[in-house]
Structure 1
Amino acid sequence: MTKTELIAAMAAAADISRDQAKLALEAFTDGVTDSLRQGHDVRLTGFGAFVAVDRKAGVARNPRTGEAIARPASRTAKFRVGEGLKSVLNG
């Protein structure tokens, strides 16, 4: 599902305009982004959690040449599936 398709589905499910659904989705993603940037998790009970994690520096390899490249430490986000979503996916 693309962002456009998600906006259309949200608009239909909530009986709101596509513009309102787009604003709601952007507000959600901005809220999650800001929270993760500050180091806070975003937990949606029954759905899952967005978690900020630190990745250690390491060595990666260029797949074309095989050359070793130093990979700096960085922060990234992970999504951990909640029990409610997991049970829906597994019947």
Structure 2
Amino acid sequence: MNKAQFIAALAPHFNGSKKDAAHAVDVVFDTIVRNMSAGNDVMINDFGKFKKVDRKARMGRNPFTGETIKIKASKKARFLPAKALKEIIAGDRKLGPAPKPEVKAAPKAAAKKAVAKKKPAAKKKPAAKKKVAKKAPAKRKPAKKAVKRR
């Protein structure tokens, strides 16, 4: 599942609005990234833990030449799944029913007092495009015969 498919799966929970679902996904991802970059762990119960891990400098090997090279110390993102998530994936625990999207009633028209609304400005038609007559292609002269070179 990619991000677009994830947003499409969440949209029914946001009254079918992919825009609201995308905003929610972006906010969640942004919050996780900002906290991890600050060095904080992000723990989500029954799902897992996102954490920033320091990797030490080490010796490695160039696979093409076989030459030994030094690899610099770096920082990596790590995800540790929670026990509940591991059990569900392994089949040891049953996954509960998926939450059903809430169907919110459309807001009632509260504009009964303001019945006489202004009409929106009439849409202007785009200016008619002028048709430019195409010229007939010029008649071509027959190709010149090649001159023999000595």
- Per-residue CA deviations over 1:44-88 (Å, capped at 9, x if unaligned) read 011100011100011122212212221111111110010121111
**Runs of 4+ that moved beyond 4 A:** none
Which runs of no fewer than 5 residues in structure 1 stay unpaired? none
Tell me, what secondary structure is at the counterpart of 1:39? coil
In 1: Cα distance, 2:38 partner to 2:6 partner: 27
Calculate the TM-score normalised by the size of structure 2: 0.57
Instruction: Specify the code of the residue in structure 1 equivalent to 2:15.
Output: D
Deviation of 1:26 after TM superposition, in Å, equals 1.0
Tell me, what secondary structure is at the counterpart of 1:65? coil
Instruction: Specify the code of the residue in structure 2 equivalent to 1:22.
Output: A
Match of 1:53 in 2: 53
Matches of residues 25-36 of structure 1 in structure 2 within 5 Å?
25-36=25-36
In 2: Cα distance, 1:56 partner to 1:79 partner: 18
Deviation of 1:16 after TM superposition, in Å, equals 4.0
Instruction: Specify the code of the residue in structure 1 equivalent to 2:46.
Output: G
In 2: Cα distance, 1:84 partner to 1:62 partner: 40
Percent identity reads 38
Instruction: Specify the code of the residue in structure 2 equivalent to 1:48.
Output: G
Verify the 8 A CA contact 2:14 2:20 in the aligned structure 1. no
Name the Cα RMSD after superposition: 1.3
Aligned CA distance change for structure 1 residues 66 and 17 (closer, same or farther; 3 Å): same
Aligned length: 91
Match of 1:74 in 2: 74
More helix by share: 1
